Amino acid sequence: MRIVLDRHIPYLIEALTPVADVVALEPEAISADTIQDAETLIVRTRTRVNRALLEGTNVQFVATATIGYDHIDTAYCEEKGIEWISCPGCNAQAVCDYVEAALTELYTPEHLHRMHIGIVGVGHVGSLVAKMAERLGMTVSLSDAPKGIGESLDEIAQNCDIITFHTPLTQGGKYATYHLCNTTFLQHCRPNALIINAARGGIVDEQALLSSGHPCVIDCWEKEPQLNQTLLRNPQTRLASFHIAGYSLQGKYNASHVCVEALAKHFGLPPIAMPTIGQATGDSQSGWLGRVTESLRQHPDEFEQLRTYYQLR
């Protein structure tokens, strides 16, 4: 069996080489030609998995080592009988830790005790963020319309000092989340309410956010890797990063493990051993998100390079 994978997904080469012919490529080298003879494709969000990539190949199983899967044309995969999987919840704790880092860099414990946080999207990440915020002494409101949980978006806007989004990105249907945070929503918010997007680019209408003047923390950008540099450099953007909220060593290990288990199940293989998890080498000291922000502001055109070579915390 031949497996083509993004070489920057940790642990996969070591786990899969004993059981398959593994071809590890830079994400920009993954193409219809390079995956022609592969039965399995394992990617990150940088790779668009669609008809243009898959048509005429032997791929029958696709895994993305990420929570989100809007980079996969799932309808096409299902039409062609190609099984696909994502890794929901794999890095939920890392995203929660990112939100906590932002809160504790921006506010003192005394301030947080007096603040009201609204959490939009109460899945794996949102649930952890709610527990974290309660631990910090904050008042917590939840909103998840598809699940019928909590308050309306209007109530969140009107009542909360901080609003953090943890939904998937969906373009259509009753509960579409594209530009969920838009001009109308922002007009209903408290004047200085902090907006956090550590979910998916496109959930927040960045132009509307810029026009509103609301302070913000942005990890996921609408047109990555061509990020909105005006928003990045505006003082209203208190903290910013290059889509690495979920980039912890444990989160990456979890995602790789899910991919390996799903692959073994799909092809009827015996359990595949994972290598031992390593030691995190990234910056996790107090103030690390501020240092990431400064790095991005200094090198805004190197978004993908910064992301690819980010040292896992």
Q: What is the mean pLDDT of the chain?
A: 96
pLDDT at 216: 98
Mean pLDDT of 204-231: 96
Give CA–CA dist 137/177, Å, rounded. 29
Give CA–CA dist 94/313, Å, rounded. 9
Mean pLDDT of 181-206: 97
Output the CA angle 271-125-295, nearest 5 degrees. 100
Catalytic residue among 83, 100, 105, 224: 224
Q: pLDDT category, 284, cuts 50, 70, 90?
A: confident
Amino acid at 147: K
pLDDT at 279: 86
Respond yes or no: is residue 291 known to be catalytic. Answer: no
Q: What percent of the chain has pLDDT over 90?
A: 93
Give CA–CA dist 38/103, Å, rounded. 44
Mean pLDDT of 69-90: 95
Q: pLDDT category, 172, cuts 50, 70, 90?
A: confident
Mean pLDDT of 81-89: 95
**Domains detected in the chain:** 2-90+249-267 (3.40.50.720), 92-245+285-308 (3.40.50.720)
pLDDT of 150 above 90: yes
Answer whether 215's CB lies under 8 Å from 63's CB.
no
Token digits of residue 256: 């790789």
Q: Kindly give, in sequence order, each residue whose CB lies less than 8 Å from that of residue 250, ignoring residues fewer than 6 positions away.
A: 93, 94, 277
Q: Kindly give, in sequence order, each residue whose CB lies less than 8 Å from that of residue 7, ignoring residues fewer than 6 positions away.
A: 13, 24, 25, 26
Which pairing describes strands 83-85 and 40-43: parallel, antiparallel, or unpaired?
unpaired
Amino acid at 3: I
Respond yes or no: is residue 257 known to be catalytic. Answer: no
pLDDT of 80 above 90: yes
Respond yes or no: is residue 179 known to be catalytic. Answer: no
* 95-144 per-position pLDDT tens digit: 999 999 999 999 999 999 999 999 999 999 999 999 999 999 999 999 99
pLDDT of 70 above 90: no
Total-model pTM: 0.87
* 10-31 per-position pLDDT tens digit: 999 999 999 999 999 999 999 9
Check residues 208 and 88 and name the one with the higher pLDDT: 208
Answer whether 117's CB lies under 8 Å from 132's CB.
no
Q: What percent of the chain has pLDDT over 70?
A: 100
Catalytic residue among 179, 243, 257, 313: 243
* 227-262 per-position pLDDT tens digit: 999 999 999 999 999 999 999 999 999 999 999 999
Mean pLDDT of 74-95: 95
* 31-62 per-position pLDDT tens digit: 999 999 999 999 998 899 999 999 999 999 99
Q: Which long-range contacts (CB under 8 A, 24 or more apart) does 70-77 make?
A: 70/168, 70/169, 70/170, 70/200, 71/43, 71/45, 71/46, 71/47, 73/49, 76/50, 76/51, 77/49
Catalytic residue among 44, 200, 257, 313: 200
Nearest to 217 by CA among 129, 158, 138, 153: 129
Backbone angles phi and psi of 303, in degrees to 5: -50, -55
